[in-house]
Amino acid sequence: MQTNKYLNFRNLHLLISLIIVVPTAFVYGLFPAFALPKLFDFNVDTIDLTNVFRAIMCLYLGISIIWFLGIIKPKFWQTATIINIVFMASLALSRTISLLVDGLPSIAFVIGLFAEFILALFGIIQFRKNVT
């Protein structure tokens, strides 16, 4: 039985991150005035706010490109994993700070906090296991 050289356990944290972050980027950035009020309790009603969410979309997509390169090109795996750890840990930290300062957010953000924390931890484990 031949295993796929891209779809393997070593790349799992990057693949999961891609599956979550790429659609999230498009939800945030393609039609923020339509999608975000349906998902969250606010309206995107200014050009500046639309601009912010489109910037977030492109930031997420840019980082996702690095993760994709880490999957298909082994020489980028270490860099992609470090970026993945920092990205997920930073999001988890920001949500934790908000939880402590602002109170309990909606369930979507609580789930996001746990998912980001788990992916950061999984990335750390993968890095330690695969980098000598």
Tell which phi-psi region holds residue 49, choosing left (phi > 0), alpha (psi between -120 and 50) or beta. Answer: alpha
Look at the chain and report how many structural domains it folds into. 1
What integer is the mean pLDDT of 27-38?
92
Domain that holds residue 28: 9-130
- Examine residue 125 and state whether it is found in any structural domain, yes or no: yes
- Examine residue 68 and state whether it is found in any structural domain, yes or no: yes
What integer is the mean pLDDT of 84-90?
98
When the pLDDT of each residue in the chain is averaged and rounded to a whole number, the result is 94
Local confidence band at 3 (pLDDT 50, 70, 90 cut-offs)? low
- Examine residue 34 and state whether it is found in any structural domain, yes or no: yes
- Examine residue 3 and state whether it is found in any structural domain, yes or no: no
pTM higher than 0.75 for the full model?
Answer: yes
For residues 13 and 2, what is the distance between their CA atoms, to the nearest angstrom?
Answer: 21
The answer on pLDDT for 121 being more than 80 is yes
- Examine residue 2 and state whether it is found in any structural domain, yes or no: no
